[in-house]
Amino acid sequence: MQFKIKFSTSLKTAFTLFLIANLSSFVQREKPITETFKIITFEEFELMMNKDSEKLRVFNFWATWCAPCVKEMPYFEKVAAEYPEIELIFISMDDGRKPERVTNFIETRKVKSPVYLLNDIDYNKWIDKVSEDWSGAIPATLFIKADGSKLFHEGEVNESELRALIAGIK
């Protein structure tokens, strides 16, 4: 009997905590999704890539269905949050006909950095313009320094590999 009471109390506590956690994250979301998500063409991405910036810009190419991409995203957000000079931008390769897959992902995973869905599937026309070193596999990441120089990395990274990559170009 005592066990039963204890169990139900702890279940209640857990549920309350769960509610609070969800509520607080809901409150914490400063910006509506329309400000952090947009569907873009390659030309728009190219303008974004080529514009002047005083920051080290990190463009991470990913998709909601790509397990290694989803795994590495929190490392990018964590490291970017530590360095004010880094601007992190996620470029989604998801199906442009189903953007809700991306917006749902942003909300449930609480992605803070801006996400753009690059809606151009004529891949051979533009992959080399991002980097000739890119075979097309995702995840992949393009780093652009304030002086315009670029570094491209294809493949999944863990947190220490990401830190080493950033230390190497800073």
Partner 1 sequence: MKKITKTLFALMLIFALSPLVKAQTEGYQIGDKATDFNLKSVDDSWVSLSGINGAKGAIVIFSCNTCPYVVAYEDRMIDLHNKYAAKGYPVIAINSNDDKVSPGDSFEKMQERAKDKAFPFPYVYDKSQDVIKAYGGSRTPHVYLLNKEGDDFIVKYIGAIDNNYQDASAVTERYVEDAMDALLSGNKIAVETTKAIGCTIKWTKAE
- Residue (108 or 135) nearer to partner 1, CB: 135
Supply 8's token pair. Answer: 């139900």
Tell whether residue 17 is a contact of partner 1 (CB under 8 A). Answer: no
Residue 4's CB is within 10 A of a number of other CB atoms, namely 8
Check the CA dihedral 161-166-169-170 and report its sign: negative
Nearest residue to 153 (alpha-carbon basis) of 60, 68, 80, 63: 60
- Least Cβ distance, residue 53 to partner 1 (angstroms): 25
Supply 134's token pair. Answer: 């890119």
At residue 131, what are phi and psi to the nearest 5 degrees?
-165, 135
- Least Cβ distance, residue 127 to partner 1 (angstroms): 4
Which residues from 85-144 bind partner 1, rule CB under 8 A?
A: 93, 95, 97, 121-125, 127-128, 134-139
Tell whether residue 155 is a contact of partner 1 (CB under 8 A). Answer: yes
- Least Cβ distance, residue 130 to partner 1 (angstroms): 10
- Least Cβ distance, residue 114 to partner 1 (angstroms): 20
Nearest residue to 170 (alpha-carbon basis) of 82, 91, 89: 82
**Cβ proximity of 106 and 33 under 8 Å:** yes
User: Which one of the spans 12-20, 50-58, 77-85, 149-157 is the region binding partner 1 (CB under 8 A)?
Assistant: 149-157
Supply 116's token pair. Answer: 């753009």
Q: Which of 66, 73, 86, 106 binds partner 1 (CB under 8 A)?
A: 66
- Least Cβ distance, residue 91 to partner 1 (angstroms): 11
Tell whether residue 65 is a contact of partner 1 (CB under 8 A). Answer: yes
Residue 84's CB is within 10 A of a number of other CB atoms, namely 8
Give the binding site for partner 1 (CB under 8 A).
65-68, 93, 95, 97, 121-125, 127-128, 134-139, 154-156
